[in-house]
Chains A and B, each alone.
Chain A
Amino acid sequence: MSESATTVEAPSGGLPPATDEPGLIRRYGVTLVFLAPTLVLLTVWVVYPTLRTIHRSFYDRSGDDFIGIDNYRTLFTDDALVTAIKNNFLWLLIVPFFVTAIGLVFAVLLERIRFSVAFKVVVFMPMAISLFAAGVIWRLMYEKDPSRGTVNAAVAVVADAVSPSGVLSGARPSTDELEGSPARGIVLQAPLEAGSVARLGLTAIREADVPSGAEQAVVPEALAGGITGVVWRDFKPGGGTPGELEQGELGLPGVTVELRSQGGEPTLETTTEPDGTFVFEEVAAGSYRAAIGPDTFTEPYAGVSWLSARLITPAIMMAYIWVWAGFSMVVIAAGLAAIPRDLLEAARTDGASEWQVFRRVTVPLLAPVLSVVFVTMLIYVLKVFDIVIAIAPGSVEDDANVVALAMWRTSFGGVNDFGLGAAIAVFLFLLVIPILALNIRRFRREL
């Protein structure tokens, strides 16, 4: 600032020493040509609209009637708008912190590593993509069906490892001789004792869901001192008779069969063969029930509804952090590189642990850079729009709403209430100002 003032104070730039006082036009005509386009553009597209929007915010929807601060009252009472403000507040609370923290962690990890450039490029890449395109990407990532949505596919791998889906997720008993439900297991009514043969017929199993390797079902021989039985698909093309094991009906291999005591406690457990048969040898005297355990009927993992009303905002935030982490990392890494090595070395020589060095030396020295990243993120997050509209399906847009989106929807997205829309814009403007005041110091330095 001061530099420019002194430099131009010198003998008037370029103009020959005037013998007589030239007219204003002659004197500043050239300057005006240089400045006019800027002044016109800024006046028409920025200054006038700003004043007009402030003015408009005190008028009703039609623009004819002055209604004072009613629009602002609506802003803080209307449910949809309050949700937007609350959500935006959450964004401010959560996102800048995580973006800065993740950037810091990445930058510190990268510091002692070769090939850091490759990593930086990969993490920074989403920055070049529009937030809208990033939104489209994550909309696909968040598809609920684990066979399409990447996030749920990854979750499904873990979920299926923890509780694998059963071989017969949709099966039901074929006759009344079996009772129970998939959740508790299906139990054969008739009591069994050593020498009995159990027949457990199931239906409602699609052709494609029959476990591979299934063979023609057979009724096993009775076994002295043991219980035998068969689990089979009690259905053949054409139907067949329920309860009868007929030619063409397949055994169900890999089914867990439990032998339960009269009180319902599982005592023995076994798995069926390719022809559906199973054997419990050497069963103690007494009466038993045969049951197919609930594991067999476990449904495959169905996926988390990321795009549901409850999860939509966190889901969008994660996508947003994915976009911005690279920016934070690159800026913080530059700050890290500027920290004098000998300060860190001195701390280490004095016996500080790596954590202490990080906590007591690196972070305090980085504080200015961290605050720049944090404040920059506050401003961007306040105006977040594209990624929300891209990820949130129309049905949950109300739940994902943020101030900038509410402004657009109110003004142009069907409601078309310019008075209220203008009030939301002014509210956004008022929120930006204090945050920018934080940033002013940096600008003053650069000026």
Chain B
Amino acid sequence: MSTAAPAIDATVEAPVVIAEPTSAKILRFLGKTPVYLLLAFIGLLWLVPTLGLLLTSLLPPSIIGTAGWWEVLSQPSVATLDNYRAIFDNEAITSAIWTTLWIALGATFLPIFVASLAAYAFAWLEFPGRDWIFLVVVALLVVPIQMALIPIFSLYNTLGLFDTIPGLVLFHTAFGLPFAIFLLRNFFIGIPRDLLEAARIDGASEFRIFFRVIIPLGLPAIASLAIFQFLWVWNDLLVALTFARDTQPITVAIFSQMRQFSGNIELIAPAAFVSLAIPLVVFFAFQRYFVEGLLAGSVK
């Protein structure tokens, strides 16, 4: 497929341009064929695991325990949506999907709002020890989540936040803050000073400036942060595994299925595919914000 386009171009252009470059082009292209083949092979290697999960999830329950996903390729007629119908009728799985969504949305909006407020203060308000406090906040990036699990577990049991959506949202919010503040403060500080001054002279309060000037201008940074945070929380296992028992997000639901009945592929495969379909959609829609976030998020 990849060979067709350049070859056609070359022959059409040939009479118009010069004869030599055409053959040179074709030669050059042929010279690269091994590279193309190699890359195609690698691409396939990288695609097969995910594709395999998708096709496995389409196998009928009767053969899913004994057949590989390639059965679907050799006889496409066996493919069925029965497994998906079954998990969407399964109360535990559907409620897990909703729980995941609420946690992910809550733990995206809340930290971004809180971080925006703080980032504005660090960027544009004057108070003693400002830069010093900012440094301490950013330094908290180094604290691994594991450092908080035990005390928060005890705290949640006391406060009644164990196994609740707010408990999970608050935990993700706190651990999302240092990075969010760091990123937003650096973005906000690039907002032209004149805009803020003008608003202040017009008598706008700091809150008005925050909502009318800073938030709209900060949207690009906020959006990329939101995507990253959403995926981070959606994909979380560790925090939910520690602080949730019945209020399970999808990762924990799948995990307990794997532990209880390890052979239950007709449930695990489609549920796993659903759990990764949403991040994939988000990823394909907003790819370019993603890499930046990962690079900076390494410290989380």
Which residues of A does B touch, CB under 8 Å?
1, 3-5, 7-8, 12-14, 28, 30-31, 33-35, 37-38, 41-42, 44-50, 52-53, 56, 106, 109-110, 112-115, 118-119, 121-134, 136-141, 147-150, 153, 322, 325-327, 330-331, 334, 372, 375-376, 379-380, 383, 385-386, 389-390, 393-394, 404, 407-408, 411-412, 418, 421-422, 424-426, 428-429, 432-433, 436, 439, 443, 446-447
Contact = CB atoms under 8 A, between A and B. Distances in A.
Contact of A439 (B38, B39, B259, B298): B298
B1 to A, nearest CB: 9
Interface stretch (B10-18, B87-95, B136-144, B218-226): B136-144
Contacts of B280: 125, 128-129
Nearest to B116: A34
B126 A13 contact: yes
Contacts of A31: 121, 125, 127
A301 to B, nearest CB: 14
B131 A380 contact: no
A118 B38 CA distance: 14
B259 A394 contact: yes
A124 B286 CA distance: 13
Given A35-B121, A122-B47, A53 B147 contact: yes
A73 B185 CA distance: 43
A105 to B, nearest CB: 9
Contacts of A49: 147-152, 155
Contact-residue size bin, chain B (C-beta under 8 Å from the other chain): 35 or more
Contact of B140 (A46, A115, A131, A418): A46
A199 to B, nearest CB: 38
Contacts of A109: 35, 38-39
Contacts of A404: 144, 146, 238
Contact of B275 (A106, A112, A130, A393): A130
A38 B127 contact: no
Nearest to A3: B189
Majority-rule SS of B interface residues: helix
Contact of B124 (A8, A129, A393, A432): A8
A14 B283 CA distance: 41
B78 interface: no
Given A56-B150, A128-B280, A150-B68, A4 B35 contact: no
A129 B50 contact: yes
B117 A35 contact: yes
B124 to A, nearest CB: 6
A404 B38 CA distance: 37
Contacts of A153: 68, 70
A371 to B, nearest CB: 13
B173 interface: yes
Contact of B272 (A133, A421, A439, A446): A133
When A and B form their complex, which 7 residue pairs have the shortest distance between CB atoms, in order from nearest? Answer: A130-B235, A45-B174, A128-B283, A49-B148, A49-B151, A34-B121, A38-B118
A412 to B, nearest CB: 6
Nearest to A41: B174
B148 A53 contact: yes
B181 A38 contact: yes
Interface in B46-92: 46-50, 52-53, 56, 65-70
A205 B177 CA distance: 67
Nearest to B176: A41
Contacts of B66: 147-148
A14 B200 CA distance: 5
9 contacts: A1-B131, A5-B131, A38-B137, A106-B42, A127-B294, A132-B251, A386-B251, A429-B144, A436-B299
Contacts of A131: 235, 237
